[in-house]
Structure 1
């Protein structure tokens, strides 16, 4: 059995909207207050506050007169936000993330409910302190009763509920097909079979409308209702762009997993690549990291394999016929001829073929395959 989150949109009643607004506000207040408490305790007294002490701080806050409003909402989301904060500190101390940041009311709001704070009966979901079920638009049935429910509201004002359920993944039959994938910007990716998937450039598609909405937002008076309306228009455009990108990536990753037994990709350091100011927006819009992440978990569910090669492997500069490696290959050169064997190569297809060969070698040898040391690799791949 595997756990999977099923996300649906719902439309709250005015009473539910008020309750959720109070819940989101209390969760944000508790998270920020306890984070400030833990930070001050360390810098002022060199005292490390764990989850037990943080939970005790929450109990004291609920008893205080000035923060008694915390009792108006379910206690489960407040406790869960402290658990998430503890996880954030664990990732920070282990070097996997930066220091936890304070939550803002202008960004996505969420509250997590465990079994004791919700009821799921006959396809209807009831939250704690809520008399009516949520008006959820069920796009598909749940495989089992949810173990955890997360309610959220994005910057565009839309409400979503994510139900964490246990399900049995369906293993696909074994097929002999294998593929290498070279990610890019002109084309979203090119396969070793020569297929090119174009880059829709969702951000550029809505750039004019987004710029117009942002100009109007900048002219509104701070704190006014008109500014709030203009901010929501900008948020709706950003949500539209993100939804289009995610929808396309889900369809492409599902198609790749269904059609191939072994999928070979590059281990790209996307965060480092975003330091290039000229390409940062295009790289973010392409969604390389999200695409590879979807390939990995969907392949694991389907019984397929994803092989990631060394990020320093010179896939574009190496001849897929004889193995000769060019010293440098600038990005503006899209086709080149191997000086050793005179083979003519399309840059992206050649890279995809090399990625496939290196990925299969990784599976066979159980180690990364790198063409040279990182210090001697050219910036152009």
Structure 2
């Protein structure tokens, strides 16, 4: 059984410098691989594989005086960046993803892959972990990563001035078997995040004061950073050497963005744990057309902030642990327009009608609760897990 763990680490100044240089080199190699493939395809309609590009880098590019810094970091981490680029192109050719984009430094979405070179690499202790080529690094959460487990692979990433390690661990044993009860249906939305058929209602965290206060701070930090960039465009000189105030502003914005993302992700994890805690036999949810929903500029931001896809992944992971079946009904299933009591379907139901009143049996209940009950009673569905 494989399980992933991600936690924050406290590297030394030398280790942090090496991590930054490795991540920067991987990002440069990835972008260079994309650019070379674009040139090659426009030239003779051919594609450069990761192995061929690795030979090109080793024999032609890295030997140049201006690119000798490529050899100062882990060669296997650099090779993994090329493999990631090849995977991105293959997904594009198969129609599974869009055309690969260049990695930007400000996005901080590049991770450094460190393979296991020796038997002692990726050794985990209660308060530290041994990363290949970096050595022992202190962990923030002591005892979070299992000590006696076997680490298969790991990556190191950087976000808003903080460093994280992600490891894939092989754990002996099987998932927990528990006695399951009745199934439930869940309806997700913007007014309330999740409404379950058993009566549980989880509100929208984006309407809370904590989120609104952090968003207000982020808005101010972004305006302040924008003013600094406008001063540079006008040719005004900065009060600090090499514009360090801009770097501080960027870090301030990144920190607030990360805080918002962490708060929302933690809330989604909490909702999933509360749903799985009841040990239902199955959980039925509705397939959402997120691309169509975000086209509506009135609700696009609210839908994006909810993180429905991340919630679905967390739910699948938790249900797999306890053996709970996850069902998904079609996107056109009329869960909101159908009466959960008699099955009568309404012809029209506007979004402003928050109470569902059946024209056939006269029953009246909350619109979202009615949808969750219909999802629980659905007979046509796809089993995801």
- TM-score of the two chains, using structure 2 as the length reference: 0.88
Question: Could you say which residue in structure 1 is the equivalent of 2:157?
Answer: 152
Q: Distance in 2 between matches of 1:181 and 1:44?
A: 53
Question: Could you say which residue in structure 2 is the equivalent of 1:119?
Answer: 121
* 1:80-112 Cα distance to aligned partner (Å, 9 max, x none): 111111211121111111111111111214201
Q: In the alignment, which of 187, 190, 198 is matched to residue 193 of structure 1? A: 198
Q: In the alignment, which of 251, 254, 263 is matched to residue 244 of structure 1? A: 263
Deviation at 1:225, TM superposition (A): 1.2
Q: Secondary structure at the residue paired with 1:106?
A: helix
Instruction: Please say if 1:213 is aligned against 2:221.
Output: yes
Q: Secondary structure at the residue paired with 1:340?
A: coil
Deviation at 1:122, TM superposition (A): 5.6
Q: Distance in 2 between matches of 1:274 and 1:134?
A: 42
Question: Could you say which residue in structure 2 is the equivalent of 1:133?
Answer: 136
Aligned residues: 361
* 1:129-181 Cα distance to aligned partner (Å, 9 max, x none): 43x41122244132612111100001x11100001111245323131221100
Relative distance call for 1:224 and 1:52 in structure 2 (3 A) is same
Q: Distance in 1 between matches of 2:202 and 2:305?
A: 15
Q: In the alignment, which of 330, 349, 359 is matched to residue 310 of structure 1? A: 330
Deviation at 1:317, TM superposition (A): 0.6
Alignment of structure 1 residues 319-330 onto 2, 5 Å: 319-330=339-350
Question: Could you say which residue in structure 2 is the equivalent of 1:347?
Answer: 367
Answer yes or no: is the 8 Å Cα contact 1:262–1:307 preserved in 2.
yes
Instruction: Please say if 1:12 is aligned against 2:7.
Output: no
Alignment of structure 1 residues 277-296 onto 2, 5 Å: 277-296=297-316
Answer yes or no: is the 8 Å Cα contact 1:169–1:302 preserved in 2.
no
Tell me the C-alpha RMSD between the 2 structures: 2.0
Deviation at 1:269, TM superposition (A): 2.1
Q: Distance in 1 between matches of 2:356 and 2:31?
A: 56
Question: Could you say which residue in structure 1 is the equivalent of 2:238?
Answer: none
* 1:164-216 Cα distance to aligned partner (Å, 9 max, x none): 11124532313122110000111111111222111111653422212111111
Deviation at 1:299, TM superposition (A): 0.9
Q: Deviating runs (4+, > 4 A) in structure 1?
A: none
* 1:13-32 Cα distance to aligned partner (Å, 9 max, x none): 11111111111111111111
Question: Could you say which residue in structure 2 is the equivalent of 1:377?
Answer: none
Alignment of structure 1 residues 1-381 onto 2, 5 Å: 1=1, 3-60=2-59, 61-108=61-108, 109-116=110-117, 119-121=121-123, 123=125, 124-130=128-134, 132-139=135-142, 140-142=144-146, 144-154=149-159, 156-167=160-171, 168-201=173-206, 203-221=211-229, 222=232, 224-259=243-278, 260-358=280-378, 360-362=379-381
Deviation at 1:361, TM superposition (A): 4.3
Q: Distance in 2 between matches of 1:196 and 1:58?
A: 56
Q: Distance in 1 between matches of 2:130 and 2:203?
A: 44
Q: Distance in 2 between matches of 1:38 and 1:361?
A: 45
Answer yes or no: is the 8 Å Cα contact 2:122–2:132 preserved in 1.
no
Answer yes or no: is the 8 Å Cα contact 2:116–2:132 preserved in 1.
no
Q: Show structure 2 runs of 5+ residues with no match.
A: 233-241
Q: Secondary structure at the residue paired with 1:115?
A: coil
Q: Secondary structure at the residue paired with 2:343?
A: coil
Answer yes or no: is the 8 Å Cα contact 2:116–2:122 preserved in 1.
no
Answer yes or no: is the 8 Å Cα contact 1:74–1:128 preserved in 2.
no
Q: Distance in 2 between matches of 1:84 and 1:32?
A: 11
Deviation at 1:64, TM superposition (A): 3.1
Q: Distance in 1 between matches of 2:341 and 2:56?
A: 66
